[in-house]
């Protein structure tokens, strides 16, 4: 029992010594880090360019030089933020650049003038290169282009839509360099497939915007597709045939005198359809030599049906005088 107690005491003392050792080691490391960070260092960092207040009538092309190499001196604590984030320099196109021919020019002197605002008072700028940044630009063109829907909609049997579908907006504005925008004739949507539809449609579809479009601005990147879906059915009506363009003095007998028209409409409009909503004609001027039949044509179809067709192709006729 006494031996076991002595062993536990010795082990505890050893563990305490180890803990104290690691504690001192950690403190030494922290002191070393703080000592290093409190010293001043000179180094070079690459800064990206953040453009502001670019005139709306111009677009800066992406092939323009957009980096500055800046040498500066500061304490180690200040250096940390430049290593853990991507440093940027703001270029204000209202006051920091000059327009020379077809270029905007930014001189490095603006970095020194704005140094306290950009870096603070604890950073000393030593050098900036290159001396000038040159920003190529093009004149912006604003163009309205139609949206082309790439959709495949299949309705469940007995269902359909009168107006197929509507999209909103049906066109978008494209803003960008004239050389890029003038070649854009339309914008397609992503492919959308809808199967067995039997209720109203309300879907958002993404647009297939051109690749490498950093120089282009689009008023929207998606459109809304809607459609009213109803139950549909077929109907049939016997419509009288009207003979037209018969030469004066010529008498013709034709049969049958009426013909079946099969139409496709919604259940809601079915009872509104009547004979007066259709007109079937046979144009005698279209009869060729030795032809003994007339060709019936649907000359009038009401808007209350989605489609209509004649189920007989020939009308026989004879000349009586």
No. of helices (H) and no. of strands (E), the chain: 6, 25
| pLDDT exceeds 80 at position 251 | yes
Q: Tens digits of per-residue pLDDT, 93-106?
A: 888 898 888 789 98
Angle at the Cα of 53 from the Cα atoms of 87 and 187, rounded to 5 degrees: 95
For 164-187, what is each residue's pLDDT tens digit?
889 999 999 998 888 788 889 999
Token output for 234? 């077929």
Specify the pLDDT at position 267: 94
Partners of 45 in beta bridges:
70
| Least confident span in 33-42, 66-75, 208-217 | 33-42
- pLDDT above 50 for 229: yes
Helix (H, G, I), strand (E, B) or coil at 157: coil
What mean pLDDT comes out for the span 48-74? Answer: 79
Contact criterion met (CB below 8 Å) for 203 and 225: yes
- Our CA dihedral for 135, 141, 142, 145, rounded to 10 degrees, sits at -120
Is this structure's pTM higher than 0.85? no
Assess whether pLDDT exceeds 70 at residue 80.
no
Tell me the CATH number for domain 232-319.
Answer: 2.170.120.30
Please state, rounded to an integer, the average pLDDT across all residues of the chain: 83
Q: Which fold has domain 139-228?
A: RNA Polymerase Alpha Subunit; Chain A, domain 2 (2.170.120)
Say how far apart CA 42 and CA 54 lie, in whole Å. 33
Query: CB-side exposure of 52: number of CA atoms within 13 Å?
Result: 8
Q: Nearest-5° angle of CA 285, CA 287, CA 293? A: 130
DSSP 181-230: HTT---EEBPPEEEEEE-S-EEEEEEB-PPSS-TT-EES-SEEEEEE--E
């Amino acid at each position: 029992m006494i031996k076991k107690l002595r062993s536990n005491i010795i082990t505890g003392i050893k563990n305490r010594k180890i803990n104290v050792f690691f504690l001192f080691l950690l403190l030494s490391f922290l002191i070393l880090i703080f000592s290093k960070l409190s010293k001043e260092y000179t180094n070079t960092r690459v800064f990206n360019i953040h453009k502001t207040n670019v005139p709306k009538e111009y677009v800066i092309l992406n092939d323009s030089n957009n980096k500055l190499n800046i040498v500066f001196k500061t304490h180690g604590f200040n250096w940390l933020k430049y290593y853990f984030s991507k440093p940027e320099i703001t270029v204000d196109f209202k006051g920091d650049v000059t327009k020379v021919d077809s270029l905007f020019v930014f001189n490095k002197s603006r970095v020194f003038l704005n140094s306290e605002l950009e870096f603070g008072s604890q950073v000393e700028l030593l050098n900036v290169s290159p001396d000038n940044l040159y920003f190529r630009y093009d004149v912006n063109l604003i163009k309205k282009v139609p949206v082309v829907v790439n959709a495949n909609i299949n309705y469940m049997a007995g269902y359909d839509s009168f107006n197929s579908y509507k999209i909103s907006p049906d066109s978008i504005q494209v803003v960008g360099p004239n050389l890029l925008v003038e070649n854009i004739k339309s914008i397609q949507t992503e492919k959308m497939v809808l199967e067995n539809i039997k209720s109203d449609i309300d879907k958002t579809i993404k647009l297939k915007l051109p690749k490498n479009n950093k120089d282009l601005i689009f008023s929207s990147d998606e459109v809304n597709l809607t459609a009213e879906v109803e139950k549909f059915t077929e109907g049939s009506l016997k419509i009288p045939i009207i003979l037209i363009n018969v030469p004066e003095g010529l008498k013709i007998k034709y049969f049958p005198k009426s013909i079946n028209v099969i139409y496709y409409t919604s259940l809601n409009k079915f009872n509104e359809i009547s004979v007066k909503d259709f007109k079937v004609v046979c144009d005698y001027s279209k009869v060729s030599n030795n032809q003994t039949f007339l060709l019936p044509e649907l000359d009038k179809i009401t808007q209350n049906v989605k489609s209509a067709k004649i189920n007989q192709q020939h009308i026989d006729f004879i000349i009586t005088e």
